[in-house]
Structure 1
């Protein structure tokens, strides 16, 4: 196997499950769930444990295989309660890369999150949350889980409704800094009767961060639900998003959270607002929207409470992956409701271009009537597909078109929503152009996108005036035929005899892009062209380093809180060894920010080098019904050259045949001449013999 690309697949996950309340405000007593699968061809061993809470969960080891999702049940005692520090982190370690989804339920309340592996976690986060003041037991929540011992945390609280966070017997209000430390497998949960959206978390080592609400209603409806998501770090945020509201629900609430000052947010090409760091733009949407930002942002979609006119569904929260972080294959499982009933499941897709008919479900081609409410804006197509309950794989048939996928399930006053996967390439940090390896998942040309080209297709896929500078795959080396959802153009077959070829020459494929200057020289054999990728130019057009922000407000220095001396559980910390991963993703750069803590150090970012990575299991496994032969994309001069070579060989053969014929004709003529002379000699002798016989009787009497 090649090196892994940075995405939601990984070999180690350290997760925390935030507090979930039922509709009456009681703590949930429903067990937690994990859904685990893999894209590896081999069987994968997975170990699940709670290293510092062995008295609550003894652990389990399972085996997962490609395309099959295993469900693992965890005790509800691992769920956090109140604002606390605890040892309830869950560790998942595997022999090969896996995908993990977490499900957190209460009575008539369900939500889930996409797990983010340790190797792509970060050290800077802005956290989205939600709060409604309809009931006193509604609270917004932030959960932080440690991955290394002695990790320093600096948390700048941001809250509304005059909310305050009570942690370690100290109160923290809006704008206050909470400074503490966290160890490996420790968890910290912060609850607040106010919206914690925009709270900033900075750490000295990588941490997992989750945001949401213990229970809430959203919008004008009265139904309520627990909501949560695991939050990606700042260095993987994007600038382009397509948002598709969940069909059959009230207008969805969309929030765009800024990471930097003077971030301009536009919706459907109209400038709507300029944001500062930690601020968010909020709007309601009942139709497909295209959102762009001048600087990296996080987009969150909230599904509102059910009402009398829209009785299906319940509050849910999902992140909207940026288009820049799209992938080409997703495997997932639809959960059951808290009452063990099936949801009505909807898969919403967003992809660049208009060729959405290449999407396949469980390796079966979808029909036109399977796609619902398909719309297009800004060269982005979006729609949805109804999905039956169970385990599924959705991919693009050719493996060449990345797309975004969000899964939603609705039932009677209960729902869930989460992204089914995404790339997690560090596109929002200082970048140096690097040599491209096909499908490495990296931003080789520093344009804020990863693997946006298809090598050797003679098209400038990202419209930057360059060809094949950052490829997801190679058209000529990945497969000889590419699926097409349109009727393919007729191709001219190669002549296989010495007869004169037909006068109809194949029409060359014309593109508006400049041809690549490193196009490999074709040969007349049927071997594949060289897979050597072009070396990037030496021009150092690196993107400027991202400066997060600079706080100018003077804040009183809060006393640094340390961990309590005594704990309710005296569990000794085991020494756990986790397998090394082969990913070569650099540690995200940390930006120095003004903080009352003077001991905060800034780590120096390392340069992300090139990786010889191949796309993992992204090739289609189906036999396409409509194929485009490789002859359709060959250049005209190559075909003409083949015809010229064949014509030359034919002329040589005809010349040789003529020489042979001339030689044979000479031999035949000489033989005929010899035969004529022999016949003439034979006739002469016969004539002489006849004359002698006739003259003998006249002479004989003279000698008697």
Structure 2
């Protein structure tokens, strides 16, 4: 009986905390943000947005442990589905190349999600907070630099989490830029060696692009990259940009990229963690880059980017041009598909002028069943999804989001997807990922015991939860099944051989066009794209490892790659498949959704359309319900048996007590009979004289 109760009540609580953007401790340093018009330091307070996935109320303490004279701290309570805004003193923002004690610490009683907002006048950006427990000791930092204005500077911020942390920083800079720190000048390729303590911050500014700067620490540190203010592309409008950077051990190899609506073309940079990294876009090899180098391209629509070794992918939204004022430069990380999560809670910020942004949520998921996405627990309609595209078994699109606090998840709660939030206002914008997993898939790995949906790489193949539990199918093609799985209730599953696509209704054939493989150059004109549904299917081909990378049409600088000896990362390089160059594009019209025309584009040779839902796809749901039914039935039977036993025992005990009472009464009666008075005796006393 005791064992039964332990199984019923304790097993559901035995899961591990998934390594993701939710945590109990965060340590930030806020980068310098400059005004867009003259580059002067910002005088706008800093902001934090905090929420929790916990069912209980969570106590959160915010402080600046070494800068109590600047900020006395706050303590708040957050609950699930509600986001609290905390305003911090503007004096906590870093200024110039400096070492300071301005780190901000957030500590909570249960896991929380944190976003940071850093604003100046008509200049703003935000970042997704990374908790201390998933920080690392090796980083390559993305940044940005434009030489249009003299007050533009690229920036790197490092914050310590432990005392006496040793830092080795290899500076990477362009345009002859250098970093002046502690009275010394460090140029491109120079090493900056120093130490940092807990809650200390170091900011490095440079009149050059610091992208590719390498940070090696002896203990965990948090790292931020960006620019104090800059323009991007041909537009002259400018903005502050920044992101908190994930460590090398969580970088990925597969990315889906969608340009922000109305901002084409977007700039994409792919930063390599290892030598001989081959970058492919839509199955076409583009370039081979070395450790610390980056591949740069522009995208106008949806693309799937893959590499044979782990990389960091960064998306830059360009400056607005004349006649188009909604939006501004922004910078966001693109989470790897293999690090996508199942639920995101976020708050849309307001502009520096206290106005609402036009908010866009861009989603990317494996498979084709995107209609299971829900906004604030409400299922979305067909006309809520815009520019939906499917390519290589990956679906991408965007949703217009009203201002406020929101939660986006899949209806089953178990389908992972990537989410990026973008907002544009009058010459101002922001962009950041709304969350992701931080599973250490790019490091030495030891196979581990699996817990369903634990977010870990249990089989050491560089992916986490890549199998579908209970379907008895080898989803990842390694000859095993259910070795690293998640319960998948969707009717779509990832395979390496076929793609499921929705069947079009009312097809009308149109003309055939040939796709182009050239990378478009930035243009000064932007337009808001029509709401269009695209369907791209996958050409079934066997991967090859003998192809030679094609030269890129985008020039990238060749930095020196001499780096200190670091921990060797063990990964399984993937092969790159080269598609048939004779691929044609067929366009068919579909029925209109709402007031917007909808089209489907088929960009590949072969399609495998099917609407069939087989028995294995719905098996996990009924199996789970059956298990709960059996456990519940057994519990009722055992509890009933226990009740009957207790009733019987109580009856036996009561009867025994009644027998004891009768014996006592009989003994008392006998004593009274022996003490009877003699006939005529006045009292008992004379009888004993």
TM-score, normalised to structure 1, is: 0.69
Unaligned runs of at least 5 residues, structure 1: 517-545
Q: CA deviation at 1:96?
A: 0.3
1:421 to 435, 443, 449: 435
Q: 1:576 to 1:131 in 2, by over 3 A?
A: closer
Flag the 1:675–1:500 CA change in 2: closer, same or farther, 3 A. Answer: farther
The more displaced of 688-697 and 190-199 is 688-697
CA contact (8 A) 2:65 2:104 kept: yes
1:19-66 CA distances to partner (integer Å, 9 max, x unpaired)?
00xx31111000000000000011000000000000000001000000
Matched, 1:28 2:42: yes
Q: Which moved more, 1:11-20 or 1:609-618?
A: 609-618
Aligned-pair distance for 1:264?
Answer: 0.5
Once the two structures are superposed, what CA deviation does each residue of 1:271-323 show, in whole Å capped at 9, x if it has no partner?
11100111000011111111001100000000000002543210000000000
Change (3 A) 1:695 1:505: farther
User: Could you tell me whether the CA contact under 8 Å between 1:363 and 1:621 is conserved in 2?
Assistant: no
- How far has the Cα of 1:3 moved from its partner? 2.9
User: What does residue 158 of structure 1 align with?
Assistant: 172
Tell whether the 8 Å contact from 2:234 to 2:524 is kept in structure 1 after alignment: no
Report which stretch shifted further, 662-671 or 77-86: 662-671
Alpha-carbon offset, residue 434 of structure 1: 1.4
Please say if residues 29 and 159 of structure 2, whose CA atoms lie closer than 8 Å, have aligned partners that are also in contact. Answer: yes
> How far did residue 431 of structure 1 move?
1.1
Structure 1 218/431 Cα, relative in aligned 2: closer, same or farther at 3 Å? same
Q: How far has the Cα of 1:430 moved from its partner?
A: 1.0
Pair 1:198–1:632, CA change in 2 (3 A): closer
Displacement of 1:451 after TM fit?
A: 1.1
CA RMSD, 1 decimal: 21.9
SS where residue 656 of structure 1 aligns? helix
Distance 2:683 2:451 in 1: 116
Question: 1:514: Cα distance to partner?
Answer: 47
Verify the 8 A CA contact 1:483 1:626 in the aligned structure 2.
no
- Check the 8 A contact 1:509/1:635 in 2, yes or no: no
Deviation of residue 416 (structure 1)? 0.1
629 and 66 in structure 1: CA distance in 2 versus 1, 3 angstrom threshold: farther
In 2, Cα distance between the equivalents of 1:90 and 1:267?
Answer: 39
Secondary structure at the residue paired with 1:595? coil
Q: Which stretch of structure 1 is more off in the superposition, 46-55 or 559-568?
A: 559-568
Q: Displacement, 1:250?
A: 2.8
Shift in alpha-carbon separation, 1:68–1:512, aligned structure 2, 3 A: closer
Match of residue 8 from structure 2: none
Q: Cα distance, 1:462 vs. partner?
A: 3.0
Report the CA distance between 1:578 and its aligned residue. 34
Residues 412-431 of structure 1: CA deviation (Å, up to 9, x unaligned): 11000000000000000011
Q: Secondary structure at the match of 1:579?
A: coil
Local SS of the residue matching 1:660? helix
Deviation of 1:100 (Å):
0.3
- Match of 2:667, SS? helix
1:347 and 1:596 map into 2 onto residues whose CA distance is 34
Partner of 2:105: 91
Cα drift, residue 607 of structure 1: 54
Alignment of 1:642 onto 2:655:
no
Contact 1:588 1:605 in 2 (8 A): no
**Residue 464 of structure 2 aligns with which residue?**
450
Indicate the SS of the match to 1:602.
strand
Quick check: 1:467–1:515 contact (8 Å CA) kept in 2?
A: no
SS of equivalent to 1:665: helix
- Compared with structure 1, are the counterparts of its residues 418 and 703 closer, same or farther at alpha carbon in structure 2 (3 Å cutoff)? closer
- Per-residue CA distance 1:172-199 (angstroms, 9 max, x = gap): 0000000000000000000000000000
How far apart are the structure 2 equivalents of 1:684 and 1:136?
115
SS at match of 1:383: strand
| Displacement of 1:702 | 107
Task: Please give the per-residue CA displacement for 1:539-598, whole angstroms capped at 9, x wherever unaligned.
Answer: xxxxxxx99999999999999999999999999999999999999999999999999999
2:280/2:576 contact within 8 Å kept: no
Aligned partners of 1:3 and 1:612 also within 8 Å? no
Does the 8 Å contact 1:144/1:189 carry over to 2? yes
The worse-fitting range, judged by mean Cα deviation, of 451-460 and 296-305 is 451-460
SS at match of 1:696: coil
1:663 partner SS: helix
Deviations 1:350-409 (A, max 9, x none): 001000000000000000000000001111000000000000000001122110000000
| Cα distance in structure 2, aligned partners of 1:493 and 1:664 | 76
Structure 1 residues 511 and 175, CA gap change in structure 2 (3 angstroms): closer
| CA distance in structure 2 between the partners assigned to 1:340 and 1:369 by the alignment | 30
Taking the aligned partners of 2:230 and 2:688, their CA distance within structure 1 comes to: 159
Is residue 142–residue 190 contact of structure 1 (8 Å, CA) maintained in 2? yes
- 5+ long unaligned stretches in structure 2: 1-14
Please state how far the C-alpha of 1:469 moved relative to its aligned partner. Answer: 1.1
Preserved contact between residue 459 and residue 511 of structure 1 (Cα < 8 Å)? no
Relative to 1, partners in 2 of residues 1:370 and 1:191: Cα closer, same or farther, differing over 3 Å? same
- CA deviation after TM superposition for structure 1 residue 455, in Å: 1.1
Given that 1:144 and 1:208 are in contact with CA atoms closer than 8 Å, whether structure 2 keeps it comes out as yes
Q: Please give the per-residue CA displacement for 1:63-84, whole angstroms capped at 9, x wherever unaligned.
A: 0000100000000000000000
Assess, with a 3 A threshold, how the Cα gap between structure 1 residues 601 and 464 changes in structure 2: closer, same or farther.
closer
* Structure with greater Cα Rg: 1
TM-score normalized with structure 2 length: 0.70
- CA deviations over 1:108-163 (Å, ceiling 9, x no partner): 11100000000000000000000000011000000000000000000000000000
Task: Say which SS state the counterpart of residue 490 (structure 2) adopts.
Answer: helix
Structure 2 CA distance, aligned partners of 1:504 and 1:567? 9
Q: Deviations over 1:478-502 (max 9, x none)?
A: 9999999999999999999999999
Aligned twin of 1:620: 605
1: CA distance between counterparts of 2:397 and 2:129?
Answer: 25
> Could you tell me which residue of structure 2 aligns to residue 16 of structure 1?
29
1:467 CA displacement: 1.7
Superposition deviation, residue 472 in structure 1: 2.2
- Alignment partner of 1:686: what SS? helix
Task: Using the TM superposition, name which of 399-408 and 414-423 deviates more.
Answer: 399-408
Q: Which has the higher contact order (CA 8 A, sep 6+)?
A: 1
Q: Distance in 2 between matches of 1:512 and 1:569?
A: 21
CA contact (8 A) 1:350 1:383 kept: yes
Q: Secondary structure at the match of 2:641?
A: helix
8 Å contact kept, 2:262–2:526: no
Provide the rounded CA distance (Å) in 1 between the counterparts of 2:289 and 2:525: 40
User: How far has the Cα of 1:473 moved from its partner?
Assistant: 3.0
Kept in 1, the 8 Å contact 2:537–2:606? The answer is no
Indicate how the Cα distance of structure 1 residues 593 and 327 shifts in structure 2: closer, same or farther if over 3 A, else same. closer
Residue pair 2:296, 2:555 contacting (<8 A) in 1 also = no
1:435 Cα offset (Å)? 1.4
Is the CA contact (8 Å cut-off) linking 1:217 and 1:223 kept in structure 2? yes
Residues 365 and 487 of structure 1, relative CA distance in 2, 3 Å threshold: farther
**Cα distance between partner residues in 2 of 1:554 and 1:154:** 46
The alignment of Structure 1 onto Structure 2 pairs a total of residues equal to 672
CA contact (8 A) 1:328 1:395 kept: yes
